[in-house]
Structure 1
């Protein structure tokens, strides 16, 4: 599989984004794990600090849902884009894109918004008019970030930590905030 590479301009300079291949799994997991540790260091218990589930990420890569951004061939960011999400958006009937696990390395600050914009374009290219995401409702900084990026808060829902392998079991009750944005 030879993924198409698309250059994007970012706050950190030019980066290339492509679908991740199985050879990229170590880089994707490393970025996710770095982000999880950083969140935990700030007292935000949102992602597992003992490592993201390799099987989950490998499955997403195999389905072509994971993207990776590189700057000078170094992996600096990742996200997952899916076409359904019954766990965090139960009963949603509109065709939409669902972005998950947006993460960037600490030295790639500013790249996240460009990853979101890429996901918006990819979603719109399929004819879908909505991009959705969810995040830990207790992460006020991240919620404000998504709102500044044009996402509109729809609801807070409770997720059982055991239902999603990326939710730390130690959180007890986990409330996710649903956001969506129109894309064209």
Structure 2
């Protein structure tokens, strides 16, 4: 994984994006937990907060893999994104030359400032700079707001797949 850093230009001003380090584990996990708890308050079935209680070791692992990036203002980590060069097993599509975006979380105190869109633009630029042609992602199929969000920024739904019993993911692609 490339150790890329950069700036994001948002309604909050310029933010720094960089590859996550092991020192970021607690803050990364804190952003995940914040979003999970907010979704629970919205009565979303997308995530169950208690399912993330013991996932600090998973966060440590994916940070160690070099696939995670964090966004920070001058004080703290406020958002996360993960970028891989292979699709997960459940995609069941034989695509080459792809970048796969996941783990896009923006702490709810910072939502509505264009941070997510700026992160997506940054990730797409990085994918393209690696001579990849397609950006892929997936999301909870029953989350209409999330599906609309990705469609609004140019992603096209290419199907759905059941990843767990009664849990469907919608698959999205965008030509770069």
Q: TM-score, normalised by structure 1?
A: 0.87
Alignment partner, residue 18 of structure 1: 18
Alignment partner, residue 102 of structure 1: 104
Assess if the C-alpha contact under 8 Å between 1:132 and 1:181 holds in 2.
yes
Count of paired positions: 170
Gaps of 5+ in 1: 161-171
Q: Matches of 1:112 and 1:102 in 2, distance apart? A: 7
Q: TM-score, normalised by structure 2?
A: 0.90
* Cα displacement (A) at 1:62: 1.1
Change (3 A) 1:73 1:6: farther
The answer to whether structure 1 residue 152 and structure 2 residue 152 are counterparts is no
Alignment partner, residue 56 of structure 2: 54
The answer to whether structure 1 residue 128 and structure 2 residue 121 are counterparts is no
Greater mean deviation of Cα atoms: 43-52 or 27-36: 43-52
Q: Please tell me the root mean square deviation across aligned C-alpha atoms, in Å.
A: 1.5
* Cα displacement (A) at 1:4: 5.1
State the Cα deviation string for residues 18-45 of structure 1 (Å, max 9, x = none): 0000000111110011111111111212
Assess if the C-alpha contact under 8 Å between 2:31 and 2:107 holds in 1.
yes
Assess if the C-alpha contact under 8 Å between 2:97 and 2:133 holds in 1.
yes
